[in-house]
């Protein structure tokens, strides 16, 4: 089992700053959710964490060892990326089983039986060519490769993209069962936040090139509140607190509050306090236009 640490990761593509000094520690045995808006640098960060993309500056360590060009460290990691139906040379006519053959060479703990069973479970033939697969089927192949890699730290980039609701449910079940029975670490990036919230032990919000927050999901939600009421009362009750995403409607006001440990709303004001879903909290914190 392994831990992964990012130290001050900076990534620039020409003049564009994508990551602006990311510090992140991934502990073993947890399912992490990586959430961020389009173009915020999620895939870039994940590819740097697994040494598939060099950082402009900063280091990634797996169990204290640099991962860059380090076979020993990389043996602990799997980044199952989105598979394209096109290659620079034309349509991708490789078969799923050929992808599995590559994966077997790449991952020392590769479980061929599990990979084949998952593909069969998803109702796909292992002999199918990649360019004949739908978007959902491509996601299923990346899921099968990620899970069957049996890597200590397995990263899945938008694994549920294109999957219907039944297949998504199915994936979450397979994921928690695998995690519970092996203690592996998973990092899952997704845009479908709400239905996955219960699956993530911790969530990481990535916003504008940096980690906005990393927290235990339950703990985070327990200190996130939506406060509404008369604007003056809301302002008084939330004075000095971390307020986000204020919305005015005539004299009434709604605001999202993220309490720090030990903080609470000021008592004695006529306001309505409601808990927030992870999705609404994300919108409140990261939804503002850049």
Residues forming the site for other proteins (CB under 8 A): 30-31, 169, 172-173, 176-177, 179-181, 198-201, 217-218, 221-222, 274-275
Asked if residue 206 lies in contact with residue 51, where contact means CB atoms within 8 angstroms, the answer is: no
| 3-state secondary structure at position 230 | strand
Output the smallest distance, CB 221 to other proteins, in A.
Answer: 7
Q: DSSP strand E in 98-223: where?
A: 153-157, 185-189, 202-207, 210-216
Nearer to other proteins, 248 or 273 (CB): 273
Nearer to other proteins, 112 or 222 (CB): 222
Asked if residue 242 lies in contact with residue 259, where contact means CB atoms within 8 angstroms, the answer is: yes
Output the smallest distance, CB 246 to other proteins, in A.
Answer: 22
- In angstroms, the CA 150 to CA 152 distance is 6
Output the smallest distance, CB 87 to other proteins, in A.
Answer: 35
What residues does 203 pair with on adjacent strands?
A: 33, 215
What residues does 226 pair with on adjacent strands?
A: 256, 274
Output the smallest distance, CB 76 to other proteins, in A.
Answer: 21
Output the smallest distance, CB 91 to other proteins, in A.
Answer: 36
- In angstroms, the CA 258 to CA 261 distance is 10
- In angstroms, the CA 102 to CA 135 distance is 21
């Amino acid at each position: 089992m392994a831990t992964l640490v990012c130290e001050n990761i900076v990534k620039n593509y020409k003049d564009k700053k994508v990551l602006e000094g990311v510090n992140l520690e991934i502990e073993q045995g947890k399912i992490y959710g990586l959430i961020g808006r389009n173009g915020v640098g999620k895939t870039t960060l994940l590819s740097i964490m697994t040494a598939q993309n060099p950082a402009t500056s900063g280091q990634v360590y797996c169990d204290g060892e640099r991962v860059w060009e380090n076979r020993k460290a990389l043996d602990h990691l799997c980044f199952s990326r989105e598979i394209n139906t096109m290659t620079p040379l034309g349509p991708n006519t490789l078969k799923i089983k050929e992808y599995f053959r590559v994966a077997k060479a790449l991952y020392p703990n590769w479980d061929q039986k599990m990979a084949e069973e998952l593909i069969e479970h998803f109702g796909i033939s292992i002999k199918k060519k990649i360019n004949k697969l739908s978007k959902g089927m491509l996601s299923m192949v990346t899921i099968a490769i990620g899970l069957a890699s049996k890597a200590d730290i397995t990263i899945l980039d938008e694994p549920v993209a294109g999957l219907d609701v039944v297949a998504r449910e199915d994936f979450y079940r397979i994921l928690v069962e695998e995690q519970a029975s092996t203690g592996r670490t998973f990092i899952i990036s997704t845009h479908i936040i709400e239905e996955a919230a219960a699956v993530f032990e911790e969530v990481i919000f990535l916003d504008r090139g940096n980690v906005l927050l990393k927290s235990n999901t339950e703990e985070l939600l327990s200190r996130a509140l939506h406060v509404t009421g008369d604007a003056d009362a809301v302002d008084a009750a939330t004075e000095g607190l971390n307020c986000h995403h204020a919305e005015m409607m005539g004299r009434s006001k709604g605001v999202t509050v993220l309490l720090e440990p030990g903080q609470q709303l000021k008592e004695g004001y006529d306001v309505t306090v409601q808990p927030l879903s992870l999705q609404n909290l994300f919108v409140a914190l990261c939804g503002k236009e850049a």
